[in-house]
Amino acid sequence: MSENNHPLPSSPALLPEGEGRQQPAVSPSAAAGRSGTALVNIRTIMKRELAGYFTSPIAYVFLVIFLLLTGFFTFTIGNFFERGEASLVSFFTWHPWLYLFLVPAAGMRLWSEERRLGTMELLLTMPVTNWQAIVGKFLASWLFLALALALTFPVAITVNYFGDPDNGVIFAGYVGSLMLAGSYLAVSCMTSAMTRNQVISFILSVMICLFLILAGYTPVTDLLSRFASPVVVDVVAAFSVMTHFEGFQRGVLDTRDVAFFASVIGFMLFVTGVIIRNQRAG
């Protein structure tokens, strides 16, 4: 065939003769355009999902319950005033247990609702990739949880009014609480993609999150030590969110703790992508 029928690419990046021809490299402008399109898609899905919370009573009920429970556990169960300490230890201590039920309740609808209404197929046929949809929906729910956490600011104002706390420790506690909520939410995102039943998604995510809490507790490690080697026990204990969350409560922003929560989020979202891809292929 003539050379006119197959024009060579303008890029000089070609393999040596006899090894075939290499596809032209993607230009920086094209890569930037793809990246910009991905960000636009993620932002669009995020806005759509976030608006979905506030178009129903779900968001308002969740916010009211979350604020009431945090206040009750901080001031009544945690004895905030009786402690006589200018700190928010009694506030952050209960977050892993509050999130155990509230975060799965907020995240169980992420994909289950899409499958139940039959809009999941419509969403995935739009010009968006699976990971863009997953990240967009996750960020919307995480932003909603961040809003709920931000509304607890009167607690920080109260402790500053009655004492002279280390606000750096308080800030680190809020960062750790947000990372913890994101980890629970990623678990809920995965379980929500597994089933169209929101109740089943809620129960599964609660059980997985409960394991992440109890993994480092002494009764659990003692029980495991009877059947498993010390290496296995140490590995299981390393998955405990309590161990990594305690560092934030002390005001230490350890990169290992941040990496742990980021790894949990990334792994759970990756599994979510695998589940959705298999459902899409099937």
Q: What is the pLDDT of residue 82?
A: 81
Q: What is the pLDDT of residue 233?
A: 82
State what percent of residues in the chain have pLDDT above 70. 83
Q: For residue 40, which of 127, 150, 149, 148 has the smallest C-alpha distance?
A: 127
Q: What is the pLDDT of residue 228?
A: 80
Q: What is the DSSP letter of 125?
A: T
* Mean per-residue pLDDT, 38-64: 87
Q: 82 versus 181: which is more confidently predicted?
A: 181
Q: At 196, is the pLDDT very low, low, confident or very high (cuts 50, 70, 90)? A: confident
State what percent of residues in the chain have pLDDT above 90. 41
pTM (predicted TM-score): 0.83
**Least reliable range by pLDDT among 86-90, 134-138, 233-237:** 233-237
Q: What is the pLDDT of residue 226?
A: 83
Q: 129 versus 149: which is more confidently predicted?
A: 149
Q: Distance between CA atoms of 147 and 201, rounded to whole angstroms?
A: 23
Q: Are 198 and 109 in contact (CB under 8 A)?
A: yes
Give the 3-state secondary structure of 9-50: CCCCCCCCCCCCCCCCCCCHHHHHHHHHHHHHHHHHHHHHHH
Does the pLDDT at position 24 exceed 70?
A: no
Q: Distance between CA atoms of 231 and 125, rounded to whole angstroms?
A: 46
Q: Distance between CA atoms of 265 and 26, rounded to whole angstroms?
A: 30
Q: For residue 166, which of 89, 79, 73 has the smallest C-alpha distance?
A: 89
Q: What is the pLDDT of residue 37?
A: 84
Cβ-based neighbours of 163, under 8 Å, separated by 6 or more: 85, 86
Q: What is the pLDDT of residue 217?
A: 81
For the chain, what is the mean pLDDT? Answer: 83
The residues spanned by each domain of the chain are 29-281
Does the pLDDT at position 122 exceed 80?
A: no
